[in-house]
Amino acid sequence: QTVVTQEPSFSVSPGGTVTLTCGLSSGSVSTSYYPSWYQQTPGQAPRTLIYTTTTRSSGVPDRFSGSILGNKAALTITGAQADDECDYYCVLYMGRGTWVFGGGTKLTVL
């Protein structure tokens, strides 16, 4: 069974830039997996940030960007702010009507 991998935790300084990644336990992530990214604050519903690798969801600031870096999907946050501190999840569409979430990355801004 293929596992979607994310860094369990990451830290960034206020104003800094951080890149979170989303990989596969076997194989490379490409645009064919339609990678997407979600932000979740504890106790709240997730918020969609990026879909189809690079498309920002409505209302998402351009500090958030998506890409493919090497064999992984990536979410880059520039100019990190205190309220960016939360959990980030990626999702890959595995085909045949199956979507798989990564385990999530807990981002700390300090």
Interacting residues toward another protein by CB under 8 A: 34, 36, 38, 40, 45-48, 51-52, 55, 57, 89, 91, 93, 96-104
Q: Residue 14 Cβ, how far from another protein at the closest point, in Å?
A: 26
Q: Residue 13 Cβ, how far from another protein at the closest point, in Å?
A: 26
Query: Would you say 17 or 108 has its CB closer to another protein?
Result: 108
Q: Residue 8 Cβ, how far from another protein at the closest point, in Å?
A: 11
Query: Would you say 10 or 34 has its CB closer to another protein?
Result: 34
Q: Are 87 and 104 in contact (CB under 8 A)?
A: yes
Q: Residue 50 Cβ, how far from another protein at the closest point, in Å?
A: 9
Nearest to 106 by CA among 9, 4, 7: 9
Rounded Cα distance between 110 and 102, Å, is 24
Query: Would you say 13 or 25 has its CB closer to another protein?
Result: 25
Rounded Cα distance between 106 and 104, Å, is 7
Nearest to 22 by CA among 38, 44, 43: 38
47 token code pair: 């918020």
- Measured in degrees and rounded to the nearest 5, phi and psi for residue 31 equal -65, -20
Query: Would you say 23 or 102 has its CB closer to another protein?
Result: 102
